[in-house]
Structure 1
Amino acid sequence: MDTHPAKRVEIIIEAIMERRLSEALRKVDVTGYTILPVQGGSGRSGTWSRAGQVGRAQGMLAFVCIVRAERLDTLLDAAFAVVKPHIGVVSITDCEVLRAERF
C-alpha cells in the first residue's frame, strides 16, 4: 500500500483557548484537526491533573493536525501566535498517511 509523507502537529493548550486556536487554524485553511481532553501530566512546574490545578482554564486540550510539509510553517505561525502568551506545547513529528488528497 502506498503511503505519503506528512507532518503531525500536536498542540497542548489550556481548554479556555480552544475557540481562539480553532479560529486561528481555520483562518489559515487548516480545517482538519482533532481535539482531545488531556487528563494530566508533568512539566516544568511539576505534576498537574485535570482536577483544577491549571487554574481557571478548566484543564488542557490536545489539538492534533496532520498537514503536508509545505503547509507546516503557516500552521505553526498561526498556532504559535495563540500559544506563545499561554501555557502550551507544540510538537511536530513526521508521519505517513494513506490518503494524501485529504491533507
Structure 2
Amino acid sequence: MKTHQAKRVVITIEAIMQNRLTDTMEAAGVTGYSILPVLGGSGRSGSWSREGQIGRANGMVQVICIIKPERLDDLLDAAFKVVDKHIGVVTISDVEVLRAERF
C-alpha cells in the first residue's frame, strides 16, 4: 500500500489558551486537529498534576495535527504567536499516512 509523507505537530499548551491557539491555526488554514487533556507531567518547575483542579486555568492540553510538509511553516508561524508568550512546547515528527488527500 502506498504511503505519503506528512508532519505530525503536537502543541502542548495551557488549557486556557486552547481556543486562541485553535483559532490561530484555523486562520492559517489548518482544518483538522485533535485536542487531548494532559493529566500531569514534569518540567522545569517540577512535577504537576490535574488532580484536584476545578477549572481549566492550570491544566494543559495537547493539540495534535497532521499536515502536508509544505504547510508546516505557516502552521508554526501561527502557533508560535500564541505559544511564545505562554507555557508551551511544540514538537514535530515525520510520519507517513494513507489517504494523503485527507491532509
Alpha-carbon RMSD: 1.6
Q: Give the share of equivalent positions with the same residue, in percent.
A: 68
Q: Equivalent residue for 1:93?
A: 93
Q: Does 1:102 align with 2:96?
A: no
Structure 1 residue runs of 4+, over 6 Å off?
Answer: none
Q: In structure 1, what is the Cα distance between the partners aligned to 2:68 and 2:45?
A: 34
TM-score by structure 1 length? 0.93
Deviations along 1:38-78, one digit per CA (max 9) or x if unpaired, are: 0000111111111367x972410000010011000000000
The count of aligned residue pairs is 102
Q: 1:15·1:60 contact (CA, 8 Å) conserved in 2? A: yes
Range with greater deviation from structure 2 (39-48 or 55-64): 55-64
Q: In structure 2, what is the Cα distance between the partners aligned to 1:52 and 1:89?
A: 24
Q: Which amino acid aligns with 1:30?
A: V
